Structure 1
Amino acid sequence: MKLAALRTMSAFAMIFALQGCGTSAPASVDGLRRVVGTDLIGARGATPEDQRKIDRTIVGICAAAVWTKAECAQHGERG
């Protein structure tokens, strides 16, 4: 599995873990779904198409300012 996929999954795991620790839930599931999208479903990072799915997900997360500009700039630099 590519490093980018692992970083993405780690970020989602952290989001869901924090939610379980009593932090505020997203304003709406529909809003979160619009930001994150559904491209990651089934993506494993093993093919160029999988990488495009990961990249599309990252674009939504960065556009919604969930991650900082510096964090978003790192996507694709490593891996």
Structure 2
Amino acid sequence: MKLRAALIRSATITIPALLLVGCGTSGPGSATGLRSVVGTDLMGARGATPADQRKIDRTVVGICAAAVWTRAECVRHGEVVNG
């Protein structure tokens, strides 16, 4: 009977813990994969010049193409940029 109680107690602790482990967020699969989506255009861009804005736009295109942002967010960026 004590063994059964110990097994039940162990299961009531272990099973919820295992379920919670699966609920976390994970990072990108690899830095190379993330770099291919986001690119390197954004580095050094401040948005102060038309060239900077083009860098920002190229970065957004990659993020939208990879479906990181929703379609509505991508459309919103275009509306903000285009006025």
TM-score (normalizing by structure 1): 0.69
Give the whole-Å Cα distance in 2 for the aligned partners of 1:78 and 1:59: 14
Any gaps of 5 or more consecutive residues in structure 2?
Answer: 1-23
Name the structure where helix makes up a greater proportion of residues: 2
State the secondary structure of the residue aligned to 1:44: coil
In the TM superposition, 1:1-79 aligns within 5 A as 23-78=25-80
State the secondary structure of the residue aligned to 1:78: helix
Segments ≥4 residues shifted beyond 2 Å: none
How many correspondences in the alignment?
Answer: 58
Any gaps of 5 or more consecutive residues in structure 1?
Answer: 1-21
Higher relative contact order (CA 8 A, sep 6+): 1
Offset from partner CA, 1:38-62 (integer Å, 9 cap, x none): 0010000000000000000000000
Identity score, percent: 78
Amino acid at match of 2:79: E
Offset from partner CA, 1:13-37 (integer Å, 9 cap, x none): xxxxxxxxx6201011100000000
